[in-house]
């Protein structure tokens, strides 16, 4: 019996010695100042900013790294992002943050939405208006977003305008218009000059085809189905080198196309 007690004592002593030598320390109170400093020196990070403008997304990346260095907690990072609205502030629509404790690498993957249109919202019977950028997730961004992308040449083409009366930019309208424009064939989307939604929620599209304007009346509904027809019409007319002045798709079962004799 004495032998087994001695054996247990020897094993316990060996375990304690190993913990001391390898400096394995656990604490429920979080890292000490010394540990935080050592962790900061060892930590490295990789960042992929996707389609984001570098300056704001890079600022958010640095804030994420700083927060993680302080707490060693991805949960704390997530709470900071949500509570302080970093994603909105720095135009980041999607993010994924991972940490590999073996390599001590913090991996940051950010992405930002594609700008689709400039939105001109009128108020006071058209006397005043304000501008925003409609992006591909259906949200409205400050015009600064477009300026940042252009300064880094991440946006090089002109954005079409969306004009609508104040109060009409409700969630469903944003969603419907976003889906319509996003699903357009790129070649057709680049011909888009202006989209107008009136008070009756009737949609009119102005195309610029080889420098000539073409007005498309879409009516109040069935926009997706009508857009498929419009794409085919524009394709056919370009092959025939004829540019219609008016394309009336108000009635989805009856397409009316009118030409001008001279432009």
Q: H/E element holding 45? A: strand 44-48
How many angstroms separate the CA atoms of 32 and 166, rounded? 55
Q: Is it the case that residue 171 has pLDDT exceeding 80?
A: no
Give how far the C-alpha of residue 177 lies from the chain's centroid of Cα atoms, to the nearest Å: 16
How many angstroms separate the CA atoms of 58 and 32, rounded? 28
Share of the chain above pLDDT 70, in %: 79
CA angle 60, 62, 65 (to 5 degrees): 110
pLDDT for the residue numbered 253: 84
Contact 122, 129 (CB under 8 A): yes
Q: Which of these, 191, 165, 150, 197, lies nearest to 178 by C-alpha position?
A: 197
pLDDT for the residue numbered 2: 34
Q: Is it the case that residue 175 has pLDDT exceeding 50?
A: yes
Query: Tens digit of pLDDT for each residue in 2-48?
Result: 333 333 333 344 333 333 333 322 222 334 444 445 455 678 999 99
| Position 160 confidence tier, pLDDT thresholds 50, 70, 90 | very high
Query: Tens digit of pLDDT for each residue in 48-87?
Result: 999 999 999 999 999 999 999 998 999 999 999 999 999 9
Rg of the Cα atoms in the chain = 29
pLDDT for the residue numbered 14: 36
Contacts 24+ apart (CB under 8 A), 252-259: 252/219, 252/222, 252/225, 252/226, 255/229, 257/233
Strands 105-111 and 44-48: parallel
Residues of the chain with CATH 3.40.50: 115-258
For the entire predicted model, the pTM comes to: 0.74
**What stretches of the chain show up as alpha helix (H) in DSSP?**
2-22, 33-42, 54-71, 74-83, 86-89, 144-151, 171-182, 186-189, 223-239
Q: Is it the case that residue 149 has pLDDT exceeding 70?
A: yes
- Comparing 48-57, 118-127, 207-216, 236-245, the range with the smallest average pLDDT is 118-127
At residue 155, the 3 state secondary structure works out as coil
Please indicate whether residue 240 or residue 161 has the higher confidence score (pLDDT).
161
pLDDT for the residue numbered 54: 95
Range among 36-50, 51-65, 165-179, 183-197 with highest mean pLDDT value? 51-65
The mean pLDDT value for 89-108 works out to 94
Give the mean pLDDT of the chain.
81
Please indicate whether residue 163 or residue 19 has the higher confidence score (pLDDT).
163
CATH architecture type of domain 115-258:
3-Layer(aba) Sandwich (3.40)
């Amino acid at each position: 019996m004495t032998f087994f007690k001695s054996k247990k004592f020897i094993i316990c002593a060996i375990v304690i010695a190993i913990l001391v030598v390898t400096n394995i320390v656990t604490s429920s109170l979080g890292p000490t100042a010394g540990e935080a400093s050592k962790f900061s020196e060892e930590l490295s990070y990789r960042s992929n900013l996707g389609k984001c403008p570098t300056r704001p997304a890079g600022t958010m990346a640095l804030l994420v790294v700083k927060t993680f260095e302080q707490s060693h907690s991805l949960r704390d990072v997530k709470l900071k992002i949500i509570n302080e609205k970093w994603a909105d502030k720095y135009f980041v629509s999607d993010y994924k943050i991972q940490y590999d404790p073996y390599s001590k690498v913090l991996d940051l993957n950010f992405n930002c939405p594609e700008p689709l249109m400039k939105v001109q919202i009128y108020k006071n019977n058209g006397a005043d208006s304000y501008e925003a950028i409609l992006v591909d997730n259906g949200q409205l961004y400050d015009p600064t977003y477009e300026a940042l992308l252009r300064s880094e040449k991440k946006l090089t083409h002109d954005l079409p305008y969306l004009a609508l009366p104040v109060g009409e930019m409700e969630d469903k309208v944003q969603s419907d218009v976003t889906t319509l424009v996003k699903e357009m064939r790129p070649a057709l989307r680049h011909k888009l000059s202006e989209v107008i939604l009136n008070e009756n929620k009737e949609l009119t599209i102005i195309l610029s085809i080889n420098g000539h304007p073409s007005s498309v009346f879409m009516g109040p509904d069935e926009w997706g189905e009508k857009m498929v027809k419009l794409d085919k019409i524009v394709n056919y007319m370009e092959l025939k080198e004829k540019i219609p002045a008016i394309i009336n798709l108000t009635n989805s079962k009856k397409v009316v196309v009118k030409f001008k004799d001279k432009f």
